[in-house]
Chain A
Amino acid sequence: MPTRIRLQDGGFSLVEDPFTAVADDLQVPPGDVIISLTRFQAEGERLLSEGRAVGVRLESDEGAEALAYDLPRIAVVALAFPKYRDGRAYTSARLLRERYGFKGEVRAVGDVLREQAGFMLRCGFDAFEPADGSSPEDWERATQRFRHVYQRGTDARAPAFEERGQ
């Protein structure tokens, strides 16, 4: 079974991925799947009624609000990085967590490099499909690089202005 890096209880580990990512031109196989927004809008109802877990992949030009009402039924939102410099998914992840209260898995897919780890973690991602062969240890290290942060993120870290107040 394929794997992805998961953030669980503050640690990174390689865990099996029960989801199959299905392209729009392929048949939906049995089991848990991640499908495009377009497909979800057309077939989501039926797939969910079959009792399986369904995830949705948002391209970087698709906003999180498109899923606002469906989120309670969705297991995974996979946010695509077509290039690692394309930073739209950071906003989507934050909106999913902060505005829509999404508790499921937010997964980074596409051009995902360990250099982005710190940013992703702070915006609410908790699953990663790295494209650079990096290991959970690499991700652990990358996210621990900075002892302080200056802003409030979706994680629990206290920004500098709070640390100073203590």
Chain B
Amino acid sequence: MYQYDAIDKDFLADRSAEFRGQVARRLAGELSEDQFKPLRLMNGLYLQLHAYMLRIAIPYGSLNPTQMRKLAEISRTYDKGYGHFTTRTNLQFHWIKLKDAPDILDALASVDMHAIQTSGNCIRNVTADPYAGATAEELDDPRVWAEAIRQWSTVHPEFSWLPRKFKIAVTASVKDRTAARVHDIGLAIRRGRDGALGFEVMVGGGLGRTPYVGSTIREFLPAKRLVSYLEAILRVYNRLGRRDNSNKARIKILVATLGAEEFARQVEAEWEKAGDASDLPDTELARIRAAFAPTRFETLTARSEAFEAAKATSPALARFARNNLKPHKQPGYGIVEVSLKAIGATPGDANAEQMEVVADLAERYGQGDIRVTHEQNLVLPHVKLDDVAAVHAALAAAELATPNMGLVSDIIACPGLDYCALANARAIPIAQHIAERFADPDRAEAVGELKIKISGCINACGHHHIGHIGILGVDKKGEEFYQLTLGGSGAEDAAVGQMLGPALPANRVAEAVDQLVEVYLRERQGEERFLDTFRRTGVSPFKEAVYADAH
């Protein structure tokens, strides 16, 4: 993993000191709320319904055990003993006091963490594949590039006051676990004909009020030209992105208005003029790459007899292995998914004890490596198959072993009206109801992959547009209602979901999901996933089932 050096550490200390000064000026009345708000937002501090919320960056979703323990400690000292992992692979604390925020930033800095640029109209935390360094599928380690982007984007002199927020994802596998196509910029690592590394550059994806799947503006960008190309994109956007209407200020609107071809032409022209002055020197890239040098693995056989024997006697372990254990590039190892989706729990929430359990397991069995996924779960990327039974037992004792990855109860939900000042409706109880309805793990497995994503408002933090079933909370004549969409995907087959029909009241949602699932089970052919069946049949049979009574 990347280790912060003296420069990175000084930087965090300076930033923390700067914010301490700004908070003091605000409390003393020297800064008005209007002046202070953008400053606190750039340090991840929002004012929500019940208190301030602090959004802590987890750069490219990567944590070490010391950091995880510090998060647990902060949650106990300054919050109510829990935190919420988000679809941006960040962590949010909901009960923060403004006066404590500078101390919290210091505590974070002590473990090389921060809240820099987790909000505001700037370049946000970069998303990378949570299986980086562990999956055999990848062409290169995306964290190398994500770290390069982290540094380049941190307090960027030119691009810290953009028309709107800006999100970048890096993936290096065929299977996209980053939702790259719905980011402002999605970077997919490719190999050129001569074997050289490069990126496919996708621009203008995004969710929110007007969802778009991004367009490829360059099939192959030589990897070492990454930073200058990003600068060219950002420069065109900074100049031409709309500033008169925040609903139309994201780059996706600019790309859609100009057309992807014209946008690409302007980027290329700017890139050519700017030259390579901003590109990172090879030495720096090599330095970053060395930090992500392949973990030292033991030479093991692909099959673990101990693990096979344990599975044979424990159906629970066997089920966990089927759903939460993914193939590792190294024989004898596996990638373990830690579920933050216990049936009836708040999706993405972890309490301090759970954070510590994960930290301990990572240290003891997982090479000190923890990842956060955009689907609001955690990952132990390097676990020996010999150890999976022990890891499973410890996770199960902490209610972290729900065997539901990618299944119907692995639901994404934003905080919604339980916490969020912008919400129209609650998201958490809807997720809880659906999960409870599919609590039977046999049934959930029989249904197979089904991604349900819930947002409490059109801002789409719960990624509802790209749910196989998407659920959006709306305000209908003053009551909480829910708009369902079908057929979205955030993976390599990215698509925006299609509206099912009129919004449903809260007490109808879980039942409607059940009806949708029944239609799928009836209609499915062969190995089809819910998404495949929907794509084949279209919306009609689903619509009929849910709105049958309305006729």
Q: Enumerate chain A interface residues (CB-CB to B < 8 A).
A: 60, 63, 84-88, 90-91, 94, 99, 113, 115-116, 118-119, 122-123, 132, 145-153, 160-165
Contacts and interface: CB of A to CB of B under 8 A. Distances in A.
Contacts of B284: 161, 164-165
Contacts of B277: 152
Q: For B7, B17, B22, which residue has the most chain A Cβ atoms within 10 angstroms?
A: B7
Contact of A152 (B11, B22, B159, B278): B278
Given A119-B160, A146-B11, A152-B278, A87 B238 contact: yes
Interface majority SS on B: helix, strand, loop or mixed? helix
Given A86-B161, A87-B160, A119-B160, A99 B11 contact: no
Contacts of A85: 38, 121, 161
Nearest to B281: A161
B210 interface: no
A115 B39 contact: yes
Given A85-B38, A164-B284, A148 B156 contact: no
Interface of B: 5, 7-8, 10-11, 14-15, 17-18, 22, 35, 38-39, 121, 151-152, 154-162, 235, 238-239, 243, 273-274, 277-278, 280-281, 283-284, 287
Q: For B157, B284, B287, which residue has the most chain A Cβ atoms within 10 angstroms?
A: B157
Contacts of A161: 151, 280-281, 283-284
Contacts of A122: 157
Contacts of B38: 84-85
B5 to A, nearest CB: 7
A99 B238 contact: no
Given A118-B155, A151-B278, A165-B284, 17 more contacts: A84-B38, A85-B121, A86-B243, A90-B238, A115-B35, A115-B39, A118-B157, A119-B155, A145-B18, A146-B155, A147-B14, A150-B151, A151-B156, A160-B7, A161-B280, A161-B281, A164-B287
Contacts of A116: 161
Contacts of A132: 35
Given A99-B273, A145-B17, A165-B283, A88 B155 contact: no
Contact of B235 (A60, A91, A118, A151): A91
A88 B238 contact: yes
Contacts of A149: 155, 157
B284 to A, nearest CB: 4
B546 to A, nearest CB: 43
B161 to A, nearest CB: 3
B360 to A, nearest CB: 34
A140 to B, nearest CB: 14
Contact of A164 (B7, B22, B162): B7
Contact of A90 (B22, B35, B154, B157): B157
List 10 tightest A-B contacts by C-beta distance, closest first.
Answer: A87-B161, A122-B157, A161-B284, A150-B151, A90-B158, A146-B14, A153-B157, A148-B7, A160-B7, A147-B10
A117 B239 CA distance: 20
B70 to A, nearest CB: 23
A164 B286 CA distance: 12
A115 B25 CA distance: 12
A86 B221 CA distance: 30
Given A63-B239, A85-B121, A119 B18 contact: no
A61 to B, nearest CB: 8
B482 to A, nearest CB: 34
Contacts of B160: 87, 90, 119
A151 B157 contact: yes
Nearest to A90: B158
A153 B231 CA distance: 12
Contacts of A86: 161, 243
B161 A146 contact: no
B30 to A, nearest CB: 9
Contacts of A63: 239
A44 B272 CA distance: 32
A116 B332 CA distance: 53
Nearest to B153: A150
A151 B151 CA distance: 8
Q: For A60, A151, A164, which residue has the most chain B Cβ atoms within 10 angstroms?
A: A151
Contact of A87 (B11, B152, B162, B281): B162
A19 to B, nearest CB: 26
A32 B156 CA distance: 35
A150 B284 CA distance: 12
A165 B284 CA distance: 8
A112 to B, nearest CB: 12
Given A87-B159, A90-B158, A99-B273, A164 B5 contact: yes
Contacts of A99: 273-274
A147 B7 CA distance: 8
A83 to B, nearest CB: 8
Contacts of B274: 99
A162 B11 CA distance: 15
Contacts of A152: 277-278
A160 B151 contact: yes
A119 B161 contact: yes
Contact of B154 (A113, A150, A164): A150
Given A147-B14, A151-B278, A152-B278, A163 B7 contact: yes
Contacts of B162: 87
10 contacts: A84-B161, A87-B238, A88-B243, A90-B157, A132-B35, A145-B17, A145-B18, A148-B11, A150-B155, A152-B277
